[in-house]
Structure formats: structure tokens, C-alpha cells
């Protein structure tokens, strides 16, 4: 969604099974930020937008409000300073 952002929980580990461009199966695993990126891109392929993954839509903000939101601690993670989208 253009112009809006929100805090979204992403997995720390992703195991992907897919077909390559030649129709051959392959598997790959990612950890950390790369796992979150892969999940984000697979969501695009599946038609899932980030608000559909959000627990609390009150945290959906315009781009201009993003820095202020990210400066606030994540209420779902005790001791967390921030959570990336």
C-alpha cells in the first residue's frame, strides 16, 4: 500500500519449497532479515498486504508519521526498542 506503513511481525526463519523457471523443484532456507524479506515478497505473490498481517491496525500510519511510530517501543515485545516493517 503506497503511502502507508505498519508494524508487522515477520518470521526469523523461512523454509521455501518452490519450482525454478524450468519447473524443477528446489528448497532454500533464510534466517534473520533475509527471512523477513522473503516472507514479504511471498506475501506479494499471494496477494497479502501488510495490513492483513497486522495485529493492531491502530499502528497503521502514513509515511510522514512512520519515524514517530518507530521511536516508540513495541508493546508486544517487552524490552524491545523497535520492530522493522
Q: Report the catalytic residues.
A: 41
- Measured CA to CA, the distance from residue 35 to residue 7 in angstroms comes to 16
- Measured CA to CA, the distance from residue 14 to residue 38 in angstroms comes to 8
Amino acid at each position: 500500500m503506497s503511502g502507508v506503513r505498519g508494524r508487522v511481525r515477520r518470521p526469523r526463519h523461512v523454509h521455501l519449497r518452490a519450482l525454478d523457471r524450468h519447473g524443477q523443484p528446489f528448497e532454500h532456507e533464510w534466517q534473520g532479515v533475509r527471512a523477513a524479506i522473503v516472507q514479504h515478497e511471498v506475501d506479494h505473490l499471494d496477494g497479502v498486504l501488510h495490513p492483513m498481517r497486522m495485529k493492531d491496525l491502530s499502528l497503521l500510519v502514513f509515511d510522514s508519521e512512520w519515524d514517530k511510530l518507530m521511536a516508540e517501543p513495541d508493546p508486544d515485545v517487552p524490552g524491545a526498542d523497535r520492530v522493522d516493517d
